[in-house]
Structure formats: C-alpha cells, structure tokens
Amino acid sequence: IVMTQSPATLSVSPGERVTLSCRASQTVSRNLAWYQQKPGQGPRLLIYGASTRATGIPARFSGSGSGTEFTLTISSLQSEDFAVYYCQQSHNWPPLTFGGGTKVEIK
C-alpha cells in the first residue's frame, strides 16, 4: 500500500490552524497512525486508529478519516509543533508503509 502525503512542506505562523493530508492507494480502514519527528530524534506517536490521540498528546492534535483519505489537524500551532509529520498504515502488511512526510516550518 502506497501512502501519499500532501503538501510536502507547509509554512505557517504560530497560532494558525494546520491541516495535513494522507492518502492510501487502497483502503486501510482505520489502521492509520500519525507520527511527529523533530531533528535528531526518533518519531513520536501522535494518533492511532486514525483518530485516537496517544498517551500524553495535547488535545490540539486531532485525526480524522477512514478508508483511503486521512487528515491530521493541529488546531493552534505552537512553537514546539514545528517538525516533520508522517502517516503510516498497519492494515495490510508486511510491509508497514509510511507516507513521505510533511514538514511544518515557520513562516
């Protein structure tokens, strides 16, 4: 299953609402996770089951979608949210597959 994320880069200002997209080449049901990665660090799980926040993840992060279309929304971007975000499917594996990532940068 090929995962495609858009856009590749998003330039935003702190406080703005951000929407990231992820599309699967075939249905993954709700077996979709989102990760955040900052430079020099391993990824951190944000969302699993397409819409459930992982432990300790702030409420400003939300996920939606099912089947082939998914969205990660950050309601009000904080300075610590500038990072790269990846989606990943666990519906049909191996292999586990990731999207190419969306970099959220400061405008």
65 binds another protein (CB under 8 A): no
Task: Write the interaction track for another protein spanning residues 69-98; mark x where CB under 8 A is met and - where it is not.
Answer: -----------------x-x-x--xxxxxx
Q: Binding residue for another protein (CB under 8 A) from 10, 18, 31, 104? A: 31
Structure tokens at 32: 């979709």
Structure tokens at 33: 């996770």
99 binds another protein (CB under 8 A): yes
In contact, 86 and 35? CB cutoff 8 Å: yes
DSSP for 28-65, please give it: -TT-EEEEEE-TTS--EEEEETTTEEPTT--TTEEEEE
**What distances in angstroms separate CA 45 from CA 2, 28, 93, one per listed residue?**
20, 18, 19
Q: Binding residue for another protein (CB under 8 A) from 43, 74, 79, 82? A: 43
Q: Residue 13 CB, nearest distance to another protein (Å)?
A: 25
What is the contact surface with another protein in residues (CB under 8 A)?
30-33, 35, 37, 40-45, 48-52, 54, 86, 88, 90, 93-101
